[in-house]
Structure 1
Amino acid sequence: MKYYFTLNTVAEMICLLVAAFCLAKDKTPIWRYFIVYLLLTCATELTGVYIREMTSLSNAPFYNVYLLIECGFISCFFYQLYLQYTNKRSLLIIWLCIFLVMYVLEGLKFHFAKFVNLTASTESVVFVLASLYFYYLILRDDKYIVLNTYAPFWWVNGTLIFYFGSTATNIFNDYLVHEIKSITMSIRYVTYSILNVLLYACWSYAFICRFLQRKYYSSSASQL
């Protein structure tokens, strides 16, 4: 049982609980769908642990399937964030088509028995660029925004930290696979654990900001 409660899975489960509490009544569907996305993320992580620890099979094909869900949802969420500034539907479609072509070609090369690492690395780079583009849109916006309580800003912060860190980790993968003797874990695993905690901490805070914003507007409307 101890295998299932890692730093990664605990962070994911806490974020799921925060999302369920804060977003269940959100008026924007894409925010509510985050509950389903995080539920699938937790289920994937726990199943991946089970396959790795309890069977002799590789969990890479399982994570390959999850990568489709991850790319589709995060890409659509970015598109939704952009809508208040600009409409980039054509770019979204082009990116998803490129991703699917890379995914299929790389997957067929190894019969989907290995993780599609190149495709995942490309996804990370694109999400980093998407995060930076969102910052650019905020800087161009004439409207005053309180960033410390602005939910999209904190969601993008977490996304940028995780995918930028993932990109750097993949680049230096050969140097990070060595184990840290004192804790018998690879540097790569420790790095991804830290990135996961930062990601879900920022996302959780974004969900809380979204919840408080909704409560504030509801309270203001009731007083009119």
Structure 2
Amino acid sequence: MTLYFTVNTVIEFFCLLIACLCLYKDRDPIWRLCILYLLFTCATEVSAIHIRKVLNQSNLPLYNVFLLIECGFISTFFYYLYKRYVNKTKWLMVWLSVFTLLFFGELMNNHFLSFTFKTASVLSLVFVLASLYFYYLILKDEKFERLYNYAPFWWVNGTLIFYFGSTSTNIFFDYLIQDKISNFAHSIRYIIFNILNVLLYCCWSYAFLCKYLQRKSSSSLA
């Protein structure tokens, strides 16, 4: 059983628990959808470990499927955040169409045997740009927000940290996947992604807590 307890799975289940406690009664459907997304994330991570270490098979097809869910959820969440400032429906449709073409094109080119690495790299870059654009919208907005407890800000913070780190790491993919720290079984790339996951889910957990406190504050004033 300890096989399934890794840095990634522990932080993901922790974030799922926080999401369940803080968001299950939230009025915004997109925030409640975080619970379902994190549930898929945890299920994917545990299944991937089981497939690779117990069944001794490749788990890359599973991660390819999850990449579709990841793109759909993160893109939709950004669209929801943008709606407060601008309407970017066309942007969302164009991006999802481009992503779909890239994804299935790379899958067919790889004969469905390997991970869609190039598509994942493009996805990371797009989400970095989406995060920076959200900061730009906040700066332009005349309404004052206390960023230390503004849930969307912290959700985007975690997303930017993770995907910026992913983009930087993917640039040096060939080197990092081979290089290992002395007396440690994993590549530097593996360690970096563990750190990025911890930062991502800590920021998201804090965002969920901020959303919960905001709801409680609104209820008490009603």
| TM over 0.5, shorter chain | yes
Mapped pair 1:214 → 2:215: yes
* Corresponding residue for residue 169 of structure 1: 169
Offset, 1:179:
1.6
* Corresponding residue for residue 137 of structure 2: 137
Offset, 1:111:
2.1
Offset, 1:115:
0.3
% identical equivalent positions: 61
Structure 2 distance, partners of 1:48, 1:139, is: 41
* Corresponding residue for residue 199 of structure 2: 198
SS at structure 1 position matched to 2:218? helix
Structure 2 distance, partners of 1:76, 1:37, is: 12
Offset, 1:55:
1.6
1:1-224 pair list within 5 angstroms: 1-177=1-177, 178-221=179-222
Q: Does structure 2 conserve the Cα–Cα contact (< 8 Å) formed by 1:23 and 1:31?
A: yes
Structure 2 distance, partners of 1:194, 1:154, is: 17
Q: Does structure 2 conserve the Cα–Cα contact (< 8 Å) formed by 1:7 and 1:193?
A: yes
Structure 1 distance, partners of 2:69, 2:206, is: 23
Structure 1 distance, partners of 2:58, 2:111, is: 13
Using the size of structure 1 for normalisation, the TM-score is 0.97
* Number of residue equivalences: 221
Q: Give per-residue Cα distances to partners, 1:7-66, cap 9 Å, x unaligned.
A: 000000000000000000000001001100000000000000111101221100010000
Offset, 1:107:
0.3
Offset, 1:182:
2.3
Q: Which amino acid aligns with 1:138?
A: I
RMSD: 0.7
Structure 2 distance, partners of 1:138, 1:20, is: 28
Q: Which amino acid aligns with 1:167?
A: T
Structure 1 distance, partners of 2:139, 2:108, is: 42
SS at structure 2 position matched to 1:102? helix
Q: Give per-residue Cα distances to partners, 1:173-195, cap 9 Å, x unaligned.
A: 12212121222111000000000
Using the size of structure 2 for normalisation, the TM-score is 0.98
Q: Which amino acid aligns with 1:143?
A: K
Q: Which amino acid aligns with 1:217?
A: S
Q: Does structure 2 conserve the Cα–Cα contact (< 8 Å) formed by 1:64 and 1:112?
A: no
Structure 2 distance, partners of 1:37, 1:113, is: 25
Q: Which runs of 4+ in 1 moved over 6 A?
A: none
